[in-house]
Structure 1
Amino acid sequence: MSGLIIHTSNRIEILATQLARVVRSPLPSPLTPEIIVIQSRGMERWVSMELARVNGVCANCSFPFPNAFLEDIFKKLMPDLPEVLPFEREIMTFRLMKIIPNCLDHAGFESLKNYLAEDRNQLKLFQLSNKISDLFDQYLVFRPQLIFQWEQAKEEKNQPFIWQAKLWRELVRGKESLHRARLHKRLLEQIRKFHFEASLLPKRISIFGISYLPLFYLQAFAELSKLMEINFFLI
């Protein structure tokens, strides 16, 4: 059975009891794990104990974070993707460390050039690259339209941080289809067109105790609910 089922309560203990009722219903195969999407390992431990308390046992449950769950869906529905993507945050950091020094004499990079002056051991370069990598990673999730504008060189010419757009274009050159914003868009298109084997998807997932999800995640779960049972547990 597919569909989006919303469970609400003002007490998380009541939601846990409702979740226990859901997982008590067996999946088609006893070897298939019960997928419960959570936002912290502390929540995983608490939910596991509550399921064991209510049902007598908690076994064969998988507790992915939202991003890990959707990345697994990416890999199943898009097998042509490389095993390691060049826009994972740690990888972006080291790629930026190679790109930034070559951009410092370009217009708009004056503040970065001043900051990196006297950086003999490249500690500042690493810290800056790590910070920018984290910023780009957040843009990919929360502001994908900004990323798309940058790739089309449609950013405001007089904005104070125009160097970010220029730096992103250097980072993404030749790899435009592999970053998260593009993959999200491609995933939604594939789900809507149903261009994959239905057996690749789980029959049921539950999303528990997550207070906020970016728009893309909500869109993806809404589309996936047409193909599987999705239970949202909301306070």
Structure 2
Amino acid sequence: MFIVYYSNQLEKQKEILSSLFKSLPPEDPFQQDIILVQSPNMVQWLQIELAKETGISANLKFPMPASFIWQLYAQNLPATALENPFDKDSMMWRLMRLIPIFLEKENFSPLRNYLSSSPHSEQYKLYQLSSKIADLFDQYLVYRPEWIFAWEKGEDEQITAQIQKTAT
């Protein structure tokens, strides 16, 4: 069953969830309950609070909305990849493969210098950089989807100018 409860107070959401667990025992105790959450921190807090309220917090799955929707696609549309190529982890590993290719180009020399002039290993810096860029892309998907569409169409001059103006 799919139930949506709206509230901007996490404490109220937790109370509703714990009362549901108390009043509606599962038909199949081995069936995993799925609870959509907005952040990994929310998962940890919710598990602790549910355990306090109900005495246990087990067999629960806490996907983020985007990964939950992607899994629904993968289960129902056979041509869909099991892993979302646009999630942060996938994007980070793809960037780790691609960035070294671009480092050979002349206009990437500042980035090449950044990666090589560190007391940490170049791979460590590459990992950090890839992770940060993947996080930015993830935030663009959520907060600036119009930028993604513009980049896709090749209309990125204004966006690049906005970013440079903001950064300086």
Query: One fold, TM greater than 0.5?
Result: yes
1:43 corresponds in structure 2 to 46
CA offsets 1:172-221 (integer angstroms, 9 cap, x no match)? xxxxxxxxxxxxxxxxxxxxxxxxxxxxxxxxxxxxxxxxxxxxxxxxxx
Structure 2 match to 1:159: 161
- Partner of 2:81: helix, strand, or coil? coil
Distance 2:84 2:33 in 1: 27
Superposed CA deviations along residues 30-84 of structure 1, whole A, max 9, x for unmatched, are 12444333422232121133134xxxxx577524132443333232333322223
**Are 1:94 and 1:129, in contact at CA under 8 Å, matched by a contact in 2?**
yes
Between Structure 1 and Structure 2, the one with more helix by share is 2
Aligned length: 152
Task: Tell me if structure 2 keeps the 8 A contact 1:139–1:147.
Answer: yes
- CA gap of 1:21–1:159, structure 2 versus 1, over 3 A, is same
Counting aligned pairs with the same residue, the percent is 29
Structure 1: which 5+ residue stretches go unaligned? Answer: 53-57, 163-235
- TM-score under structure 1 length normalisation: 0.48
How far has the Cα of 1:131 moved from its partner?
Answer: 2.0
Query: For the structure 1 residues 160 and 118, does the alpha-carbon distance in structure 2 shift closer, same or farther, using more than 3 Å as the test?
Result: farther
Change in CA separation of 1:17 and 1:2 when aligned onto 2, cut-off 3 Å: closer
Q: Which has the higher contact order (CA 8 A, sep 6+)?
A: 1
Give the unaligned 5+ runs of structure 2: none
TM-score of the two chains, using structure 2 as the length reference: 0.63
Q: Deviations over 1:139-181 (max 9, x none)?
A: 223322211211111112562768xxxxxxxxxxxxxxxxxxx
Q: Which has the higher strand share?
A: 1
Residues 114-153 of structure 1: pairs in structure 2 closer than 5 A: 114-116=113-115, 122-123=122-123, 124-153=125-154
Deviation at 1:118, TM superposition (A): 5.2
Cα RMSD, aligned residues only:
3.8
Measured at CA, do residues 50 and 79 of structure 1 come closer, stay the same or move farther in structure 2, by a change above 3 Å? farther
Q: Distance in 2 between matches of 1:2 and 1:64?
A: 14
| CA distance in 1: counterparts of 2:122 and 2:134, whole angstroms | 16
- Alignment-mate amino acid for residue 122 of structure 2: Q
